[in-house]
A and B are shown apart, each in its own frame.
Chain A
Amino acid sequence: MTDREFEFGLNTFGEVSSDSSGRVLSEAETVRLMIDEAVLAESVGIDSFNIGEHYRDGHVDTAGHMILATIAGRTERIRLGTSVTVLSTRDPVRLYTEFATLDAASNGRAQLIVGRASSTDSFPLYGFDLADYETLFEEKLDLFTRLLRDQPVTWSGTVRTPLVDQRVSPAIAPGSIPTWVGVGGSPQSVVRAARYGHPLMLAIIGGHPSRFAPYVDLYHRALEQFGHPRLPVGQHSLGFIARTDEEARAAYWPEFERVMTQASLERGFPTPSPERFESEIAHGALFIGSPETVAAKIVESIRDLSLGRFDLKYDIGHLSRDHRASSIELFGREVIPRVRELLAEEPVAAVSHA
């Protein structure tokens, strides 16, 4: 992964959209919409399309790999990934078979971000105990990494049956499926990503992204300590692009308010205010505005965090399919070229060949 280009990705959590009349789409319609959106993303020059994994009302991303496989058949170039796969509650062998198959079918376009997940809905659903949170992730990352890099695999642990000299088909070139580790700010997760030599994906959903700079430093130093080469760091954030800043805010705010109010009730946090929203846009982690505004903000993050990848999560609540489509188009056609242009004017070391 030493000569990879800067990657611009789109992320979706499978949020159920609506149409221009305000009708909320059915869950099946939303699944099909995501497929169309990925096709659109490729046509406007976006590098990757990455689907989350959530088990809650209003999200239809429970089996993202099925959606990715369908997208593979309708696209040629765009990379197909996750954002993120809850590895702790998956069987690494099954996950390998799915993504090695996706990689074969798509001619080498599969990728993943794996993580422990910030919400834990998949634990009771799949019969796992939250108390084993750490062990599950650690052991499964170990096994999954070995399946990706070093077959046949002999492995034993506490979270599943052992493997002895096991090959799993379809075969891939060792290490050829990029597997990023998604972290939310836990230092031990940053060090773990470095220990396994996986690139690091930072989920930055609040506050100025530069507050994550110490983690990037920690990651680089840990890579060195473990004897790995420099690997890229990516950022995942929420955003929405429209013709003007005002238009973007007006379209995003109602859905943002609804979703955040729900989250604040669940988490015991204060409800969102318009002031808070404005300040997150101006100084925080919301990438909302005109193409110029969003491009400038992305460039700032790239410089602050030495990024090699930036993923924009484009869906939120019932944001309408028209808004989603126009945001995807502007991201691909205007924001990405503008970011590249700004970076070319004043290059950042360690970006493209991290």
Chain B
Amino acid sequence: MPNTELNLGIVGAGKIGVTIARAAVAAGYDVAISGSGPAERIALTIDVLAPGARAATLAEVVQHSDIIVLAVPTHRFRSLPRDLFAGKVLIDAMNYWEPIDGTDDELASAPDGTSVVVQRCFPSARVVKSLNQLGYHEFEEGRRPRGTADRLGMAAASDDREALSRVLELIDRLGFDPVDAGALEAGVALGPDGPAFGVGYGAEELSKLMWVPDVA
């Protein structure tokens, strides 16, 4: 992948998608981002809120990068084609929260977390759960250069170790101390009702919260 290591694709140009785009541009990434429609529809938004990122179509975003952030409303991801993200590192930044997303029986009763459902929906993608823990304002205001004393931690979980390590590196560049949360199921801890959700923890504290006792 010559020259594309610092490419990032973002699907979903809403509150969190645009915030991540902004952070990624600041970190030196070449960012392409899409909503559900034509690129023109989000061009002004991207120009004002994430200058430097490129408003694109969904197909262009997928084309643009090996790492894709999925930031569409949770009740929408199933409408995307099953093999759209084949071979891509797919960061699931979505949270399932019933009052917003409506009742979704499969997500509501997913004992191993909603990212496992996302992985089933996109079997050819390399799903990593991350970038979902902080609200978009907290995300924007929380990023710090590496080594800053009050830098927050951000966890990632995946069954694909290589994909995970690439996301950990992205997290660091975006402005957070990366925390390896382990397998994709551990993503439960990052979501609503999990100990890490909505709270800005430092990496050390966050790692402790991520430690899931091995009951085997």
Contact = CB atoms under 8 A, between A and B. Distances in A.
Query: How many of chain A's residues touch chain B, expressed as a range?
Result: 20 to 34
Interface of A: 119-121, 123, 129-131, 185-188, 190-191, 206-207, 211, 214-215, 217-218, 221-222, 225, 266-270
Given A191-B45, A214-B49, A266 B197 contact: no
Given A218-B44, A221-B48, A188 B14 contact: yes
B141 A268 contact: no
11 contacts: A120-B102, A121-B99, A123-B102, A130-B75, A130-B102, A187-B15, A188-B35, A191-B45, A211-B140, A268-B192, A268-B194
B102 A186 contact: no
Residue among B42, B44, B136, B198 with most chain A CB within 10 A = B44
B137 A211 contact: yes
Nearest to A207: B137
A119 B13 CA distance: 21
Nearest to A123: B102
A267 B102 contact: no
A208 to B, nearest CB: 9
B140 to A, nearest CB: 7
Contacts of A131: 75, 102
B97 interface: yes
Interface of B: 13-15, 18, 35, 42, 44-45, 47-49, 75, 97, 99-102, 136-137, 140-141, 191-194, 197-199
B197 A268 contact: yes
Contacts, number: 67
Residue among B15, B45, B141, B197 with most chain A CB within 10 A = B45
Give the secondary structure class of A's interface.
helix
Nearest to A219: B48
A267 B48 contact: no
A186 B13 CA distance: 9
Contact of A214 (B48, B99, B194, B199): B48
A265 to B, nearest CB: 9
B156 to A, nearest CB: 19
Contacts of A188: 13-14, 35, 42, 45
Contacts of A191: 44-45
B137 A266 contact: no
A149 to B, nearest CB: 24
A266 B49 CA distance: 30
A119 B48 CA distance: 28
B198 A206 contact: no
A185 B140 contact: no
Contacts of A130: 75, 101-102
B18 A187 contact: yes
B200 to A, nearest CB: 10
A188 B191 CA distance: 25
A228 to B, nearest CB: 14
